[in-house]
Amino acid sequence: MKFTRDQLGWEPWIEPLAEDELSDEHRHALVDRARAASPYFRLLARDPAVLHARTRTDNDIFHNTEGGLPRGERELAATAVSRDNGCVFCASVHARFAAHHTRREDDVQRLLDEGTAAEQDDRWRAIIDAAVALSETPPRADVAALRELGLDDLAISDALHAAAFFNWANRLMLSLGEPR
């Protein structure tokens, strides 16, 4: 399947809960009731405590607006990691957000089309490289390169949190099903 910004479906390999089976505890764990329509989130709802912790972490990384890295560049980090890990579904979601929040559709599309080594400006190159480095074993991130470009500790932390979270999220999604 090709990397894209199009909205994709996802087919689970384990049967998710049906929407009408979701209890109040499950719905609370979803954090956002609209997620009940997603088979991925309904599958994760089988363990409400883990889903709730996962979703709160996701929301804090990407929606916390008090300083740090702009939302679009957090989405860029998630897109780069997803591209590198081969998670077409996550890359499509976060590429849409990155393009929307940065208004750099061509640069995001180049990342999807050509991969994480595609030409980018210095700031995006440093964010992409740091994010992708966390996919390696052992992980390594060039914090100095980010700092040289003027990112403060909170912005660096935001980039690395987004990348680390999506290294985990990609593996979880890819082990439970596949995009369609």
- pLDDT tens by residue, 5-64: 999 999 999 999 999 999 999 999 999 999 999 999 999 999 999 999 999 999 999 998
pLDDT value of residue 82: 98
pLDDT at 73 over 90: yes
Instruction: Give 105-134 pLDDT, tens digit per residue.
Output: 999 999 999 999 999 999 999 999 999 999
User: What average pLDDT score do residues 69-96 get?
Assistant: 98
pLDDT value of residue 141: 85
- Using DSSP's 3-state secondary structure scheme, residue 12 falls into strand
pLDDT value of residue 138: 87
Which is it for strands 10-12 and 177-179: parallel, antiparallel or unpaired?
antiparallel
pLDDT value of residue 62: 95
- Using DSSP's 3-state secondary structure scheme, residue 4 falls into coil
Q: Which residues contact 93 (CB under 8 A, 6 or more apart)?
A: none
Output the CA–CA distances (angstroms, integers) from residue 19 to 16, 41, 45, in the order listed: 9, 10, 10
Query: Which of 138, 6, 160 is CA-nearest to residue 80?
Result: 160
Residue 60: both structure tokens together: 């804090």
Query: Which of 129, 98, 99, 90 is CA-nearest to residue 3?
Result: 90
Rounded to 5 degrees, φ, ψ at 103 are: 60, 30
pLDDT value of residue 137: 84
Residue 132: both structure tokens together: 């992708």
pLDDT value of residue 19: 97
Instruction: Give 126-168 pLDDT, tens digit per residue.
Output: 999 999 999 888 888 889 999 999 999 999 999 999 999 999 9
Contact 95, 77 (CB under 8 A): no
Residue 51: both structure tokens together: 């889903």
pLDDT value of residue 66: 84
